[in-house]
């Protein structure tokens, strides 16, 4: 087993002042530990976006109508969303899976797209459980299968991203449910909510978490399913399977981190494979990352989703890997350590 001390010993022998690359060296240690090797690999890498709608959108918790989920799926298939642009810039393969979008099945046969719809959206968590346990497990399995496929095809770094109007509401429910932070501290504006939307969102989340919490100890999956979403369940399965298989899991923003909390709760130890890409503008994100003991690489106020925050952070891993593998030892260049 490779320990942090092993990685630091390697870094401290390199031809540079000790610890002079600050946070990059800490990232190198994290990266080496996630892959359990002193020469971690960051290419190829893949982001898989999971798309689904949310019954709770009917409560007016989002500024955007559910139809936008569908429009964005089409945009992603067309290669014209923010995630496509940034993934291409960072040499990252991109996949997209419909696990629960409203409306007719997508007919695209584009290679990046996969049909795996469990249902036309989740149920309205303000009125009843969002998902049945069967739906939750089916979505989890789709995500796990995507991680297995990516790793079989060579990926060493995996990112789960999402597209789902209203999904910061289930994310806030899960953050409150699984970390214990009060519901009102877990709620933010998502993709552009005004004050009235925010107040309604806060009420819905508080009530739903209040119903889920008594179930959590006896049946955590059932409690989680009651406030989750299909794309979140799929991302959780993706995270858990990627970790099990020894890949690095680069965690995106608030919704992806909620899925990371779910993965860690149901598959303990998953968090040891995780590196947090960024701290989003959503107020509950910090508590979720702290619960997982993750330090975000960037604090850039990003709140788009679609895996974009992790994609922006991804090349920082390339530099960390290069430091571990491409630099001479100080003693090999004839110098003696002065620090």
Nearer residue to a copy of itself within complex by CB, 218 or 333: 333
Nearer residue to a copy of itself within complex by CB, 80 or 127: 80
Among the residue ranges 128-136, 204-212, 283-291, 318-326, the one whose residues contact a copy of itself (CB under 8 A): 318-326
- Name the catalytic one among 146, 162, 282, 306: 306
Q: Does 127 bind a copy of itself (CB under 8 A)?
A: no
User: Which region holds residue 258: left if phi is over 0, alpha if psi is between -120 and 50, else beta?
Assistant: alpha
Nearer residue to a copy of itself within complex by CB, 170 or 237: 170
Task: Please say whether the dihedral angle defined by the alpha carbons of residues 295, 265, 273 and 76, taken in this order, is positive or negative.
Answer: negative
Helices (H), the chain: 4-12, 22-35, 67-77, 82-89, 133-152, 168-179, 183-186, 195-212, 220-226, 230-244, 254-266, 285-291, 308-326
Nearer residue to a copy of itself within complex by CB, 58 or 85: 85
Residue from 180, 182, 269, 301 that binds a copy of itself (CB under 8 A)?
A: 301
Q: Does 3 bind a copy of itself (CB under 8 A)?
A: no
DSSP three-state, residue 94: strand
Nearer residue to a copy of itself within complex by CB, 41 or 139: 41
How far apart CA 249 and CA 243 sit, in angstroms, is 7
Contact 114, 150 (CB under 8 A): no
At how many degrees (to 10) do helices 308-326 and 22-35 cross?
90
Q: Does 315 bind a copy of itself (CB under 8 A)?
A: yes
User: How many beta carbons lie within 10 A of that of residue 211, not counting itself?
Assistant: 16
Minimal distance, residue 46 CB to a copy of itself, in Å: 17
The dihedral over CA atoms of 253, 30, 245, 53, expressed in degrees to the nearest 10, equals: 0
Q: Does 60 bind a copy of itself (CB under 8 A)?
A: no
Residue 188, CA distances (Å) to 123, 184, 199, 296 in order:
21, 9, 10, 19
Per CB under 8 A, contacts with a copy of itself among 62-81 are 63-65, 67-68, 71-72, 74-75, 78, 80-81
Q: Does 104 bind a copy of itself (CB under 8 A)?
A: no
Q: Does 29 bind a copy of itself (CB under 8 A)?
A: no
Q: Is 306 a catalytic residue?
A: yes
How far apart CA 227 and CA 163 sit, in angstroms, is 17
Give 8's strand partners.
none
Q: Does 84 bind a copy of itself (CB under 8 A)?
A: yes
Minimal distance, residue 225 CB to a copy of itself, in Å: 28
Contact 277, 252 (CB under 8 A): yes
How far apart CA 109 and CA 266 sit, in angstroms, is 34
Residue 29, CA distances (Å) to 61, 62, 193, 202, 284 in order:
40, 39, 39, 39, 27
How far apart CA 328 and CA 338 sit, in angstroms, is 16
Minimal distance, residue 179 CB to a copy of itself, in Å: 23
Q: Does 103 bind a copy of itself (CB under 8 A)?
A: no
Q: What tokens does 75 get?
A: 């945009």
Nearer residue to a copy of itself within complex by CB, 181 or 312: 312
Nearer residue to a copy of itself within complex by CB, 116 or 314: 314
Q: Does 36 bind a copy of itself (CB under 8 A)?
A: no
Q: Does 112 bind a copy of itself (CB under 8 A)?
A: no
Residues 242-281, mask of contacts with a copy of itself (x by CB under 8 A): ---------------------------------------x
Q: Please give the positions annotated as active site.
A: 306
- Chain contacts with a copy of itself (rule: CB under 8 A): 14-18, 20-24, 63-65, 67-68, 71-72, 74-75, 78, 80-82, 84-86, 88-90, 191-192, 281, 298, 300-304, 308, 311-312, 315-316, 318-319, 321-323, 325-328, 332-335, 338-339
């Amino acid at each position: 087993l490779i320990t942090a001390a092993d990685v630091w010993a390697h870094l401290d022998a390199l031809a540079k002042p000790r610890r002079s690359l600050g946070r990059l060296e800490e990232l190198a240690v994290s990266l080496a530990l996630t892959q359990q090797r002193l020469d971690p690999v960051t290419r190829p890498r893949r982001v898989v976006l999971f798309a689904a709608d949310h019954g709770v959108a009917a409560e007016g918790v989002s500024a955007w109508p559910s139809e936008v989920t569908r429009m964005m799926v089409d945009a992603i298939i067309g290669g014209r969303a923010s995630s496509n642009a940034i993934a291409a810039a960072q040499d990252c393969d991109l996949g997209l899976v419909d696990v629960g979008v409203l409306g007719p099945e997508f007919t695209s046969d584009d290679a990046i797209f996969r049909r795996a719809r469990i249902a036309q959206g989740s149920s309205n968590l303000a009125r009843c459980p969002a998902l049945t346990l069967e739906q939750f497990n089916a979505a989890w399995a789709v995500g796990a299968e995507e991680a297995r496929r990516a790793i079989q095809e060579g990926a060493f770094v995996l990112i789960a991203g999402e597209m789902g109007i209203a999904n910061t509401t289930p994310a806030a429910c899960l953050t409150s449910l699984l970390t214990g932070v009060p519901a009102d501290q877990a709620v933010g504006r998502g993709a552009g909510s005004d004050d009235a939307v925010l107040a309604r969102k806060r009420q819905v989340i508080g009530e739903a978490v209040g119903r889920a919490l008594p179930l959590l100890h006896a049946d955590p999956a059932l409690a989680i399913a009651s406030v989750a979403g299909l794309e979140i369940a799929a991302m959780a399965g993706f995270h858990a399977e990627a970790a099990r298989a020894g890949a690095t899991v680069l965690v995106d923003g608030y919704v992806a981190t909620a899925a990371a909390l779910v993965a860690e709760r149901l598959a303990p130890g998953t968090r040891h494979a995780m590196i947090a890409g960024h701290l989003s503008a959503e107020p509950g994100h910090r508590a979720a990352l702290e619960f997982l003991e993750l330090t975000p690489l960037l604090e850039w106020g990003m709140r788009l989703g679609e895996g974009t925050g992790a994609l922006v952070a991804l090349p920082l891993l390339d530099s960390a890997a290069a430091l571990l593998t491409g630099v001479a030892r100080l003693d090999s260049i004839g110098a003696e350590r002065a620090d």
